[in-house]
Structures are given as structure tokens and as C-alpha cells.
Structure 1
Amino acid sequence: MSGTHSSPSRIRMSGRSFLALTLTPEAPLTDWLAALDHQIQRAAGFFAGKPVILDLSLMQASTPDLPYLLPALQERGIRVLGIEGGDKTWPAVANWEWPESPMGGRASGPVTIPENDMTPTLPPTLVVEESVRSGQHIIWPDGDVVILGAVSSGAEVTAGGSVHIYGALRGRAIAGIGGNADARIFTRSLAAELVAIDGFYATAEEMDAKCTDKPTQVLLTGETLAFKPLP
């Protein structure tokens, strides 16, 4: 008796690059949470949908109010992806669900929370009038970012809209965070470590060689990044 064997279904996979923010609480926690509330009021929705790493390196097992820290963050809509720097055997955190931090991440420098501005009708544009140095990270979740200088290797620029770089792009540029597939990346010289739009990314090895070190725009077509020369 013979039978037929069908080929296994193809599993479709694609890579995505996400930014995780790190929060490092300080004692006294009641004051720190009050300061966090003030920041959230200045930029409502800043933490919405963003994964957060909770860094407990400044905490002790006996820090007052520590048992209430994780629930307090969850009440504020902050999604904790991982916890590091503490000890899950501390009695104060015995009731926490302790997710393990993702491996392989690296620090990208301090992040400044932008202030809300209710008067403009269009998303605000952040203009950086100098080059972004290695280790620096510019994040602007509400609109475009314009860099009048270059973006050095090891630096990163992240925008909710498009990224415009008047100099060379040697680091990382991430546009369209939060689901803006129409965002683009523009640079006078493409030599990037990574570019990404709406979660779809390309590393240096995957970029169009014809655009290397030349004025280029990057846009998303379907689920693929396209590289087009600029005049």
C-alpha cells in the first residue's frame, strides 16, 4: 500500500528591530514615581506601545515601597519587557512576575522625553543643528527629525516620521516607529550600519551597493526597503 507525502508548508519569517527604553528608578520611590508622572503629563503617550527594561541597579532589598514599583508602572500603562540589576530572591519582589531581559541589546545613550505642544496642527519636527556623535541616541516619536550634520558610526536617530540627514549616515536611522509606513530616510551619503522603516530593516550588507556613499532616499515598498538615488 503506497501513500503520498505532501511537502511541508513554508514558514515565512522576517526580521524587525525594536527600541527598548530603560527605566532606572531611584529612592525614594514615591518621589521618583511623582517625577515619572510629571514626565508622562509632558508627553502623553510617549510610553504607549514601547517595551521597557526595568533596571533595579539603584535599588536594595530593603528599599521602601519596592513591592509596589512594578504594579505602579503597569498602572501607568508601561509595558515591562524585562527586569535586570536586581535579585528576584528579594522578599519585596516575591509576588512579581519577573520577565527575563532580552539578550544581545546594548545601551544607546540617554533618551530625552519631548514636551507636548498642543498648538501645532502638524506633527512637530525636531531639528538637530550638529552632528550626532557615536553613542548618542536621538528619539522623536511624534514627527520628523532633521540632522544638519552627520550621524556617526555607533549613533542612532529614531523618528515617528521621516529622518532627514544633511551629512553622511554612518550609524543607524529608524523612521516610522509606531506604524508610519509612509516615512522615509534621506541622507547625502549612505554608509549606514542599519536603516529601518515601520519595523522593517536592512543592515549594511543588505543595502543597494549602487547607493553606497551617495545621496539616497530609503522608502518602504510592501515589506521591503527600497533604495533610490537622490539628485
Structure 2
Amino acid sequence: MADPGTLPRLRAGGRSFLALVLTPEVPLAIWLEALDLQVSRSAGFFAGKPIILDLSLVPPETPELGAFLPALTERGLYVIGIEGADRDEPVFADWIWPEGLAGGRASPEADIPDDSVELPPLPPGALIIEEPVRSGQQIVWAEGDVIVLGSVASGAEVSAGGSIHVYGTLRGRAIAGIVGRPGARIFARVMEAELLAIDGFYAIAEEMPAALIGKPAQAVLVDETLTLRPVT
């Protein structure tokens, strides 16, 4: 056995990811129709996104429940976790129940803590992005606000645990309050977003007031409705 003093210190990385939580309601056939409509209006919103399926509002005796997960799979939705249901219920006998999580964005390396050393907690804070967010990029920061000093291109996505501030043009997708903060907001000096979302409630470009497109605007959640307002 090697001398412990000569062994390298182990380092471990981590991954964080944004998972969308879908909470279907009965009747499931109508809910799937609503899902199909949203997908047709914003095809890229669900593409490649990990999904957590919350079945807390669907009783196990619901007739269409047995075919529900296959129906989501046929639509290309990637379900990585299921909650709010007992997997031992007979209705789930034919389901391929997801066992774990995968994917996410890489976080910086971290030392595996030594119990003999007291490590101070990392305070939450804002993430400042000094460069433009290019098409295809995904920024996920669950610890607080995201501040983008440049613009967010079409096809890019910024997600924040708190609010999102874009000092340039917001053309891509902005998703705020991802850790359950309905009071989060989205600000843009020039609002041309493809999609805005706060705490799971979202609006696509076609649903936004035309009078505010191309102008300074903010998105807020009012009575579970995402609302666009001018920034004065």
C-alpha cells in the first residue's frame, strides 16, 4: 500500500441541469391536446429538455393513465424522473420507470472535502455574463440572478433561479425563477424574446403585446399569468 502522503488528492466535478416539471391533469386526452398545441407554437421549448413528470393531480384509476408515458415518449419528451405516484400501482406495470438522471452542464472542479477542515459556505450571488449569448448556448444559474451585459441571440437560452437582466437585445429564451420563485422578473433593454417563463408559467412571442416588442420591457407573473410591462 502506498504512503497516504504520496497519493494524489481526489477531485470531483459536478453537473447541474434544468429540468422542466410537467404536472398533467385529467382528462389526460385534453391535456395532451393542449401539450400538442404548445409544442406546435414553440417547437424548440421542449426539444432536448429533461422532464420531471409530477402525477400528483392524476388518480391511479384514471383510464388513460397506463398509456400516458408512452404518449409522451412518442412526442419526443425525455422523462428523467417521476414523482407524485406509487410505481407499484398496477396501472404502471408496463411503464419503463426512469431510474436516474443524466446530462446537465459542467460545473467547476471541486475538492472532495476533508472532514478535518471546516469549509465556509458559498454565498449565493448573481452570475454576470460579459459576452453576448450566442445561438445554441444554454446558460443555467440556479443560485441567483443572471445579468447579461450584451445580447441573447435567437436560439439561445438563459435560465436563472432569480431574475434575468439583459442589457442588450433579448431574442432567445429567458426562463426565470427556476427554483420556485414566482417573484422573479425578466428585464430587457430591447425585448424581442422567443419565449419568456417565470416559475413554470410561460408565454411565446405570438402572445406578447406588439406594442412592447423592440422596446425596453419587463416580464412579471400576475395571478399565474406571465405579463409584459414597459420599463420606465
Bin for the TM-score computed over the shorter chain: 0.5 to 0.7
| CA contact 2:177–2:198 (8 Å) conserved in 1 | yes
Q: Name the structure 1 match of 2:150.
A: 149
Paired residues for 1:104-183 under 5 Å: 111-113=105-107, 118-120=121-123, 123-183=124-184
Tell me the percent identity. Answer: 50
TM-score by length of 2: 0.54
Letter in 2 for 1:39: G
Letter in 2 for 1:80: I
The answer as to 2:96 corresponding to 1:98 is yes
1:168-224, CA deviations, whole angstroms, 9 ceiling, x for partnerless residues? 000000000021001000000111110000000000000111110000011101110
Deviation at 1:118, TM superposition (A): 1.8
1:63-96: CA deviations, max 9, x gaps?
xxxxxxxxxxxxxxxx9349xxxxxxxxxxxxxx
CA distance in 2, matches of 1:140, 1:48: 9
Give unmatched runs, 5+ long, in structure 2: 1-9, 22-48, 51-78, 83-94, 111-119
Count of aligned residue pairs for this structure pair: 145
Q: 1:201 maps to what in 2?
A: 202
Structure 1 residues 131 and 219, CA gap change in structure 2 (3 angstroms): same
Q: Is the 8 A contact 2:166 2:188 kept in 1?
A: yes
| Gap change, CA 1:119 and 1:187, over 3 Å in 2 | same
How far is the alpha carbon of 1:39 from its aligned partner?
Answer: 3.3
Amino acid at match of 1:98: I
* Bigger proportion of residues as strand: 2
* Distance in 2 between residues matched to 1:165 and 1:48, nearest whole Å: 20
User: Alpha-carbon deviations, 1:87-109, whole Å to 9, x = none?
Assistant: xxxxxxxxxx7358xxxxxxxx9
- TM-score between both structures, scaled by the size of structure 1: 0.54
Q: What residue in structure 2 maps to residue 59 of structure 1?
A: none
The structure 2 residue matched to 1:39, chosen from 13, 16, 31, is 13
- RMSD, aligned CA: 3.4
Q: Which residue of 2 aligns with 1:65?
A: none
- Give the Cα separation in 1 of the matches to 2:137 and 2:184: 22
Separation of aligned partners in 1, 2:183 and 2:209: 20
